[in-house]
Structure 1
């Protein structure tokens, strides 16, 4: 058993993402068939600058549904079950997560919160508990195997595993879902672990498709004020009623 840190990898994204979004937007306002335009886009006859300007202008008007045609797939590892429980609440997405039912967790890795790591007494108690969990899991698994459960013993032994247990998950989101995800999870009010993962995902998205993700992030960064209200604001941006 050992402590692990989050790792975020971009596995794949829709090919020619800007051109595909441009074509989808153009179809909404174009009398012809964008299938006839597609070869020209791939050949570079319509510059990236022209495509970007068109896409950003239309998105600024509030029309965003065509960006759903482009998706990004990430592999997240070294993240806690606490994080993945938050992640899967973003429902317009696809997930494939490492199963605690089938994967033996006898040597479970774990994620330690920074606040606990910074407190010597809390850190010691946390590590002791991780050892206790590991011991209980292995004992229960062995007892169930003796009862003839075989490899299926993992599915019941897992009930003692904590939210700190490390996991791996593959997630695919379209651009519109990603923008919403970043609005909520890049906010300083988001839980520290998923906020860090979201910011890394955003950085990777910006490298591929800056035209869509240049202004993505916490809502306050786009709005110029904090929409969370006086009770929850972090103070980085003024509240609506305090704007000049």
Structure 2
């Protein structure tokens, strides 16, 4: 067995500085990694030699990527090229669109640990509508109240949690609780920042989808993101213009849905949903999980495991489930067998609550537009 380190992240400014100080003339690009790994399936050479060949002939590596990723359709090759992106001066609203891409990594400026200043984004739509003055006045008032609210909430939180407040190490946590509550006053236009790690395949998808959104800030973001990355891996990022599918799918669905409700014979008004409503769940969930555990822990087919799971007495099922939880520590991931059971919730939440909910990107989260 041999394990070789093929690459790791470096700061872009450091890469540029090192290149200037060295005699390197060829492009420094993650495309060579993608090209080398793509050749693994068709070459007898060791992968470290393939990487060396790709580095020596960057243009040949790029042509290989174009053929394999786009002509042959092996898009996963582009996932070996990874970018670290600083995103600054964007609105909270745009961040929600960015973080819909579940296979990327994000670290966002925390509204719990950082007391936000009064910076905010003025949407292009507001400027073109001639409503900038009213918008700025409104957001300024909200931001002023946010800071005023924090100053009042901070002593209240400390007073309500005297035992915790006695320990100086809890100061930051308690102040964070006050900031969390105060943030209900700030708008989605509030300016924030995040760090993003994204592979070339998801980068291309993000560029295309955000360029298709009606939000002007999203389209500007797509353009600037492309400008920042286009010269680094041109062989892996090709289809960046919005397709009709991305531009029209939501619009067409909204039009059709409106027509359906207009034709509906039901005249009763829709009732306001509860804040939390369990609308669906996998039937016989405990049996499904038990069958999955038996399947992965034996050489029996699933039908046999399902029949056995149905025969288990409640105590036997409970004992089986105890096994998968008994040694579980806070940072352990539970077994994938539990993913065979789904719970479907309808939630009515604020934007502040959704800021926490959207972190769980591997969940299937479907949202409506904000209702002012």
TM-score (norm 1): 0.78
Q: Distance in 1 between matches of 2:146 and 2:248?
A: 44
Kindly state the Cα deviation for residue 219 of structure 1 after the two structures are TM-superposed: 4.4
The answer to whether structure 1 residue 217 and structure 2 residue 240 are counterparts is yes
Aligned to 2:152: 143
Contact 1:185 1:218 in 2 (8 A): no
Using the alignment, how far apart are the partners of 1:230 and 1:126 within structure 2? 30
Instruction: Name the counterpart of 1:83.
Output: 94
- For 2:345, the equivalent position in structure 1 comes to none
Q: Which has the higher contact order (CA 8 A, sep 6+)?
A: 1
SS of the residue corresponding to residue 37 of structure 1 reads helix
SS of residue paired to 1:147: helix
Change over 3 Å in CA distance of 1:147–1:232 after alignment to 2:
closer
1:206-226: CA deviation from partner (whole Å, max 9, x where unpaired): 11111222x231243xxxxx3
Give the C-alpha shift of residue 12 in structure 1. 4.2
Matches within 5 A, 1:99-118: 99-105=110-116, 107-118=117-128
1:27 to 23, 40, 43: 40
Equivalence map 1:11-90=2 (5 Å): 12=12, 16-42=29-55, 44=56, 47-59=57-69, 60-90=71-101
Change beyond 3 A, Cα 1:159–1:49: same
In 1, Cα distance between equivalents of 2:216 and 2:151: 36
Q: What is the DSSP-based 3-state SS (H/G/I as helix, E as strand, rest coil) of the residue aligned with 1:216? A: coil
Answer yes or no: is the 8 Å Cα contact 2:39–2:50 preserved in 1: no
Residues 88-128 of structure 1: CA deviation (Å, up to 9, x unaligned): 100110001101111112x32100112212344x2222122
**Does residue 149 of structure 2 align to residue 124 of structure 1?**
no
Cα distance in 2 for residues equivalent to 1:230 and 1:74:
28
Rg comparison, structure with higher value: 2
Moved over 6 A (4+): none
Residue-pair matches, total: 212
The answer to whether the 8 Å contact 2:118/2:140 transfers is no
Instruction: Tell me if 1:171 matches 2:182.
Output: no
> 1:156 pairs with 176, 181, 185, which one?
181
Q: Are residues 49 and 134 of structure 1, via their aligned partners in 2, closer, same or farther at CA, if it must alter by over 3 Å? A: closer
TM-score (norm 2): 0.52
- 1:17-75 deviations in Å (ceiling 9; x for gaps): 12111101101222332223333434x2xx22222222111122211111111111111
Gaps of 5+ in 2: 1-10, 16-27, 159-173, 253-372
State whether residues 20 and 70 of structure 1, in contact with CA within 8 Å, keep that contact through their aligned partners in structure 2.
Answer: yes
